[in-house]
């Protein structure tokens, strides 16, 4: 019963429901980190990978989640339809073939019964396509009420497949019962109707019904002579001049009638229902509100606003215990996300043995290469300070925090990263309110690996005297 598309929809919806109680900042950081990890690994982010990624941090038992419970529920529904279908198929065929030796088994009744089964099968499919759920309250009573509104849209096709599965077992059990009864009893078939119908008109109807298999099994397509010879009338208990062997020659037609118009339609519609479930699941997954939010979080950089609360009325936390540090001498300067693209101040670029751009539009593979190059140079130098120029008016991003985490892991012990927020005019100091987010950001990095610095008044004087670097 478990279908990949359906299982994916249920798992994704379950994860989305769990995320409803999480802070938006946490979700943004987590999903942006997932997108960057996929880019680093050279794979495309997908719902399957996202579910596997967030389930690593979940302590819940996969066997107890909502998707597993729902699939088990529908498995029980399918088993119930299979059992009831097989039982009613057996009883229905026994009732249709009831014969005590004094009357004929009416072919017309069997044809009408098969037509009714075909009509039920078609109505079941139409009902699933229009989304009508007359049995919804019954499902809710027996344990399918915990699912979300999104998943409830796939219920009509799930019920249609269960119904077709039951109908398929009904038809299969009926066919087996027919063949067993033909083998064990001497059945007498005939046809009769209250309407004034002659044998040729009835034979025309029989010919249309048996057209699909007449070429394959001619004996299962009764001829006009057999139709004329096996008609019986009300209150007629004698066979007359009819050869008794003719009454039994209808069974191939009955077997093919049941197989072609009761068994095969159920089988085909059962397979169609499976296709509809996969198609519906993919559509619902693509239109899921949480999917659009996930795509936005993965494509948008995370910003540090200083607000650790969920209440929009709370003011940002502007307190910080970290102060600015003097600008150290360093031989390595990194520029983050286009900081100083136009020009970098002389006091930063002077006497630098390595200048590199990272973040922003730079590929992750280039960032990794820069990390390795810096690690190699730091291992050869006694001064293990690295300057990182940023734009002061842009709050710190989650990508920058990830870069710093990787640098802390790969650079030699004792290395320090000094953030240098630049103002719009690089010859001036940034405003105080622009520096506070960077100070709070540095507080979050463990082991005092990161500090924040700006140019001093001496640097300003030298910049004004020497002018910008050409």
pLDDT at residue number 398:
77
Span 3-23, average pLDDT = 84
Q: Which residue has the higher pLDDT, 2 or 32?
A: 32
User: Strand runs (DSSP E) across 103-167, as ranges?
Assistant: 105-106
The torsion angle over the Cα atoms of residues 58, 63, 66 and 67, rounded to 10 degrees, is 100
Q: Which of 449, 405, 443 is nearest to 306 (CA)?
A: 443
Q: Measured between alpha carbons, how far is residue 455 from residues 136, 347, 461, 468 in Å?
A: 70, 8, 10, 15
pLDDT at residue number 101:
59
* pLDDT tens profile 101-143: 567 888 999 999 999 999 999 999 998 888 887 777 777 676 5
Span 163-186, average pLDDT = 93
Q: How many CB atoms lie within 10 A of CB 316?
A: 14
Instruction: Kindly indicate the confidence band of residue 279, based on its pLDDT and cuts at 50, 70 and 90.
Output: very high
Q: Which residue has the higher pLDDT, 433 or 406?
A: 406
User: Strand runs (DSSP E) across 82-146, as ranges?
Assistant: 105-106
> What sign for the dihedral angle of Cα 417, 419, 420, 424?
positive
If you count them, how many residues does the chain have? 470
Distance CA 178, CA 200 (A): 27
Do 161 and 269 meet the contact criterion of CB atoms below 8 Å apart?
A: no
Q: Which residue has the higher pLDDT, 236 or 371?
A: 371
Q: Which residue has the higher pLDDT, 85 or 366?
A: 85
Label residue 17 exposed, middle or buried (CB < 10 Å: 0-12, 13-18, 19+): middle
Do 333 and 348 meet the contact criterion of CB atoms below 8 Å apart?
A: yes
Does the structure show a pLDDT above 90 at 240? Answer: no
What is the three-class DSSP state of 307? coil
CB contact burial 396-408 (16+ within 10 A = b; e otherwise): bbbbbbbbbeebe
Question: Measured over all CA atoms, what is the biggest interatomic distance in the chain, rounded to whole angstroms?
Answer: 130
Label residue 100 exposed, middle or buried (CB < 10 Å: 0-12, 13-18, 19+): exposed
pLDDT at residue number 466:
44
What is the three-class DSSP state of 182? helix
Do 254 and 107 meet the contact criterion of CB atoms below 8 Å apart?
A: yes
Residue whose pair of structure tokens reads 């299979």 in the numeric block: 82
pLDDT at residue number 30:
85
Distance CA 36, CA 225 (A): 79
Label residue 274 exposed, middle or buried (CB < 10 Å: 0-12, 13-18, 19+): middle
Which range of 129-143, 375-389, 415-429 scores highest in mean pLDDT? It is: 375-389
Reading the block at residue 157, the tokens are: 């096709």
pLDDT at residue number 313:
45
How much of the chain exceeds pLDDT 70, in percent?
82
pLDDT at residue number 245:
65
Looking at residue 164, the DSSP 8-state letter turns out to be H
Give the least confident one: 69-73, 87-91, 177-181, 282-286: 69-73
Distance CA 436, CA 302 (A): 17
Distance CA 321, CA 439 (A): 8
Reading the block at residue 312, the tokens are: 């929009």
Q: Which residue has the higher pLDDT, 61 or 203?
A: 203
Does the structure show a pLDDT above 70 at 460? Answer: no
Distance CA 441, CA 322 (A): 10
* pLDDT tens profile 300-351: 876 655 554 444 444 445 455 557 778 888 888 888 887 766 667 777 777 7
pLDDT at residue number 274:
92
Does the structure show a pLDDT above 50 at 80? Answer: yes
Do 74 and 162 meet the contact criterion of CB atoms below 8 Å apart?
A: yes
**Which pairs count as long-range contacts for 33-41, CB under 8 Å and 24+ apart, including other chains?**
33/398, 33/402, 34/298, 35/298, 35/299, 36/364, 36/399, 36/402, 39/364, 40/364, 40/368
Q: Which residue has the higher pLDDT, 66 or 64?
A: 66
Instruction: Kindly indicate the confidence band of residue 22, based on its pLDDT and cuts at 50, 70 and 90.
Output: confident
């Amino acid at each position: 019963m478990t279908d990949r598309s359906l299982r994916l929809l249920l798992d994704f919806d379950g994860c989305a429901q769990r995320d409803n109680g999480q802070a938006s900042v946490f979700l943004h950081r987590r999903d942006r980190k997932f997108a960057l990890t996929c880019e680093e690994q050279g794979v495309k982010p997908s719902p399957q990978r996202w579910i596997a990624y967030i389930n690593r941090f979940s302590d819940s038992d996969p066997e107890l989640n909502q998707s597993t419970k729902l699939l088990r529920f529908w498995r029980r529904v399918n088993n119930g339809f299979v059992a009831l279908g097989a039982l009613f198929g057996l009883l229905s065929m026994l009732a249709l073939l009831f014969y005590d030796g004094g009357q004929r088994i009416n072919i017309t009744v069997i044809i009408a019964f098969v037509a009714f089964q075909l009509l039920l099968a078609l109505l079941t499919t139409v009902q699933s396509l229009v989304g009508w759920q007359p049995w919804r309250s019954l499902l809710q009573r027996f344990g399918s009420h915990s699912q979300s509104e999104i998943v409830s849209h796939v219920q009509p096709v799930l019920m249609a497949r269960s119904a077709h599965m039951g109908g398929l077992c009904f038809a299969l059990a009926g066919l087996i019962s027919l063949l067993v009864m033909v083998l064990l009893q001497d059945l007498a078939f005939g046809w009769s109707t209250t309407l004034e119908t002659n044998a040729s008109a009835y034979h025309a109807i029989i010919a249309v019904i048996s057209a699909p298999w007449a070429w394959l099994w001619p004996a299962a397509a009764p001829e006009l002579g057999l139709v004329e010879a096996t008609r019986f009338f009300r209150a007629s208990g004698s066979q007359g001049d009819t050869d008794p062997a003719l009454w039994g020659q209808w069974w191939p037609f009955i077997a093919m009638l049941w197989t072609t118009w009761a068994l095969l339609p159920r089988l085909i519609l059962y397979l169609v229902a499976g296709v509809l479930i996969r198609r519906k699941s993919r559509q619902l997954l693509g239109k899921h509100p949480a999917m659009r939010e996930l795509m936005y979080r993965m494509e948008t950089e995370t910003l540090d606003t200083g607000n650790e609360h969920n209440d929009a009325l709370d003011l940002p936390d502007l307190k910080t215990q970290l102060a600015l540090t003097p600008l150290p001498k360093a031989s390595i300067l990194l520029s983050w996300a286009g900081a100083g693209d136009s020009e970098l101040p002389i006091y930063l670029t002077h006497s630098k043995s390595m200048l590199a751009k990272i973040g922003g539009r730079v590929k992750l593979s280039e960032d990794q290469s820069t990390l390795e190059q810096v690690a190699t140079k730091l291992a050869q130098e006694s001064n293990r300070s690295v300057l990182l120029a940023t734009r002061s008016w842009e709050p710190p991003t989650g990508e920058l925090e990830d870069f710093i985490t990787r640098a802390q892991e790969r650079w030699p012990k004792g290395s320090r990263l000094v953030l240098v927020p630049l103002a719009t005019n690089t010859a001036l100091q940034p405003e105080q309110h622009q520096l506070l987010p960077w100070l709070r950001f540095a507080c979050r990095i463990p082991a005092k690996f990161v500090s924040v610095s700006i140019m001093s008044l001496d640097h300003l004087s030298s910049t004004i005297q020497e002018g910008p670097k050409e």
